[in-house]
Amino acid sequence: MLYMSFEAQKEALKAKLARWKEESKQILKLLQSKYPLCFSIPAKPLAIGISKEVIEYKLDHSK
């Protein structure tokens, strides 16, 4: 059985969150460039929520 220490788990989670945050920013920039009327600059909370949905969809369908 593979076991990670609490600190290793914490670091892995931090790295995963950092990657997710960067992916989210990239997707939001793409959406802002393609659909400026829907995804304003600066981003509104709704636009941020939609980009999260896009990321989840992408991750679910990439497998």
Express each pLDDT in 4-52 by its tens digit.
Answer: 788 888 898 899 999 998 998 898 899 999 999 888 888 777 666 777 7
At 19 the pLDDT is 93
At 39 the pLDDT is 84
At 33 the pLDDT is 94
- Alpha helices, H only, 1-63: 6-34, 45-61
Q: How confident is the model at residue 2 (pLDDT cuts 50, 70, 90)?
A: low
**Which pTM value belongs to this model?**
0.55
